[in-house]
Amino acid sequence: MAEADDSTQAEDAAGNRIHQPVLLERTLELLAPAIEKPGAVVVDGTLGMGGHSSAMLSRFPELTLVGLDRDTEALAIAGERLAPFGDRVKLVHTEYDGIESALDSLGIPEIDGILFDLGVSSLQLDRVERGFSYSKDAPLDMRMDGTAGVTAETVLASYSEAELRRIFYQYGEEKLAPRYARRIVERREATPLVRSGQLVDLLIDATPAALQRAGHPAKRVFQALRIEVNGELASLEKALPASLDRIALGGRIVVLAYQSLEDRLVKREFAARSKSTAPAGLPVELPEHRPEFSLLVRGAELASDEEKDLNPRAKPVRLRAAERIRRHA
């Protein structure tokens, strides 16, 4: 998963680009103590094309992997890539907040590890027709699950100016949200916005020249639209506690986030689970008040300069990880 475009990767036999997963070795290092044992189960909550999953299955030969993804195209590609691992792989078509029902359907009460590699996937960025990239003209779709939900075109055509302003502020942290929302509403009265190129041209025209040097005017708006279309933050907000509740004693979770809104949710949930719940002033901390999790990295860990040079998708990544140290009450 990633938030930036990059096309300097090899292709597999089917013509799909094979991307180097972000922070792969660090992710494996953090998960290893929990998933290298016989019978371990790990969940890849954002399967994508299966890069992290393939590496985990290869590195840990007795591991069973449950892969979740809402994107049917990604599931098909990952399924083919992971087929050599046979029944060690269980794939489920679902958003990551469907982890509990997915595990229940497989008869798996608890897991030893879980990985979330958030954001838009390499596959989605590379498929121009999906409309995720502001650098290439395409239909304004942006659905991660192309079989369900509203498109970005529908959002732009039907949301009020106030609603557009809200999502640009809330999900894109865009300071020019009022200006952009107003221009979109004015434009759609004359001409429907149906392609990404139309939206990009509108945003560039609406951006003062002095501010265009600070970054591409479309970046934050496209992020906001994608998050709104796919309900990403709401899904993550549900998925994190559900996932932590299913982790066994000694199990571990690793989350790779690519923008501040995701990372704040992860930071908040990890902080809550890694603090004592003992009332202030209690002379002795009772066992039931001890933290459930211990943080494995200090703050958010960044990719090295070397990895950023080799893999541009790693530039914005923020890694957080935790281990269960007390059973869930």
pLDDT per residue as tens digits for the range 273-325: 998 766 666 666 666 668 999 999 999 999 999 999 998 889 999 999 999 99
pLDDT at 68: 97
52 is in an annotated binding site: yes
Region 206-235 average pLDDT: 89
Among 285, 257, 281, 284, residue whose Cα is nearest residue 269: 257
pLDDT at 294: 97
Helices 24-35 and 51-59: angle between axes, nearest 10 degrees: 50
Superfamily of domain 137-230: Putative methyltransferase TM0872, insert domain (1.10.150.170)
> Tens digits of per-residue pLDDT, 3-54?
433 333 434 444 445 578 999 999 999 999 999 999 999 999 999 999 999 9
* DSSP string for residues in 66-110: EEEES-HHHHHHHHHHHGGGGGGEEEEES-GGGHHHHHHHHT---
**Domain layout of the chain by residue ranges:** 10-123+232-324, 137-230
- Radius of gyration of the chain from Cα atoms? 21
pLDDT at 136: 86
Look at residue 141 and tell me whether its pLDDT is greater than 80. Answer: yes
E strand map for the chain: 10-11, 17-18, 41-44, 64-69, 89-93, 111-117, 247-257, 293-295, 318-324
Look at residue 92 and tell me whether its pLDDT is greater than 90. Answer: yes
Lowest mean pLDDT among 123-127, 138-142, 202-206, 265-269: 123-127
**174 HSE (CA, 13 A, CB side):** 27
117 is in an annotated binding site: yes
Q: Which pairing describes strands 64-69 and 41-44: parallel, antiparallel, or unpaired?
A: parallel
69 is in an annotated binding site: yes
Look at the block and give the residue holding tokens 């497989």: 106
pLDDT at 144: 86
Among 145, 16, 143, 134, residue whose Cα is nearest residue 69: 145
CATH class entry, domain 10-123+232-324: alpha beta
**112 HSE (CA, 13 A, CB side):** 19
pTM for this entry? 0.88
Look at residue 119 and tell me whether its pLDDT is greater than 90. Answer: no
Dihedral class, residue 248 (left if φ above 0, else alpha if ψ from -120 to 50, else beta)? beta
